[in-house]
Amino acid sequence: MKKILLTLFGLMLMFSGNVSAQEVTIDFSGSTDNWEIGTTKLIDAKEFTYGGYTIILEGTAGNGYRWYDSGNIILGKQGATLTLPAFGFDVERIDVVGTSSASASVKQNIFVGDEAVSTETTGAKDVTNQYVIAEGKQVAGTIYTLKVTSAHNTQITKILVWKKGTTVAEEIPVVENIAAFNALEKGTKATLTLTEAQVIGAGNNNIIVKDASGSICMYNTGLTYTLGQILNGTITGTAGEFQGISNLLA
């Protein structure tokens, strides 16, 4: 059987750009506005204010935006936008907090005008997507827009805005086998060590992998595997609600 070393996913110890403090939180989960609760979706650009911050939402034909009664915004599909207000400080990173009902396939990014100024992400289900703003686009007063770039809906419960110079590296824990990863709380980021793990299922951009301790499904791998391949190395992602790894970090 063919063996693959997962060098693509980096070293045994990986780091993410998590933070120790943040400048602005726009929290939709506690809103009492309750605009457009239900199935009606708005399309035309409209302003909404939360905690003193005014955002602009705009949908696309046939797919708009609405407030959802579980405490979040539904926004979609391709081309739908959420525009933030100007901030009086240099912005280093913007985090967008997803929900358990969000799409695991939705693609999103941060734009200034028509220019993408961060790295596009895939999936919003049970994850916080982090968008590090490109140098030169971090200047105070810049208008940032979150845009859906695929034919899916996103759901947003919070947006966190980080002032330049406030981020610090935080170590992502390493677990020794699949059973240990499966024991993690849903939404936990970790690096899984694979030792002689075999691919026992593959299809639709997902794979099922088994080692001596158990099995796990890896969602949205973006890679091609075949049945029987042996994997050794490390892979980093978020523990999912179906004993799986979602939103793999390359």
* Ranges of each domain in the chain: 3-13+171-249, 19-163
Q: Which two tokens stand for residue 101?
A: 């009902």
Q: What is the pLDDT, as a whole number, of residue 161?
A: 95
Going residue by residue through the chain, which has 250 residues, state the pLDDT in tens, using 9 for 90 and above: 333 333 222 222 222 333 335 689 998 876 655 455 455 678 889 888 888 899 999 998 778 888 776 678 888 899 999 999 999 999 999 999 988 888 888 999 999 999 999 999 888 888 888 999 999 999 999 999 999 999 998 999 999 999 988 765 556 788 999 999 988 888 788 888 899 999 998 877 788 899 999 999 887 666 677 888 998 888 878 887 555 676 553 3
- The class (CATH top level) of 3-13+171-249 is mainly beta
Compute the distance between CA of residue 70 and CA of residue 84 in angstroms, rounded to an integer. Answer: 22
Q: What is the pLDDT, as a whole number, of residue 101?
A: 82
Q: What is the pLDDT, as a whole number, of residue 104?
A: 83
Q: Do domains 3-13+171-249 and 19-163 have the same CATH topology?
A: no
Adjacent-strand bridge partners of 206: 203
Return all residues near 113 (Cβ < 8 A) that are at least 6 apart: none
Residue 147: other Cβ atoms inside 10 A: 21
Compute the distance between CA of residue 222 and CA of residue 206 in angstroms, rounded to an integer. Answer: 8
pTM above 0.85, yes or no: no
Q: What is the pLDDT, as a whole number, of residue 1?
A: 37
3-state SS of the chain is: CCEEEEHHHCCCCEEECCECCCCEEEECCCCCCCCCCCCCCECCCEEEEECCEEEEEECECCECEEEECCCEEEEECCCCEEECCCCCCCEEEEEEECCCCCCCCCEEEEEECCEECCCCEECCCCCEEEEECCCCCCCCCCCCEEEECCCCEEEECEEEEEECCCECCEEECEECCHHHHHCCCCCCEEEEEEEEEEEEEEECCEEEEEECCEEEEECCCCCCCCCCCEEEEEEEEEECCCCEEEEEEC
- The class (CATH top level) of 19-163 is mainly beta
Q: What is the pLDDT, as a whole number, of residue 190?
A: 85
Q: What is the pLDDT, as a whole number, of residue 17?
A: 35
Q: What is the pLDDT, as a whole number, of residue 93?
A: 94
Compute the distance between CA of residue 40 and CA of residue 148 in angstroms, rounded to an integer. Answer: 19
- Strands 214-218 and 3-6 come out as unpaired
Compute the distance between CA of residue 128 and CA of residue 171 in angstroms, rounded to an integer. Answer: 16
Q: What is the pLDDT, as a whole number, of residue 15?
A: 28
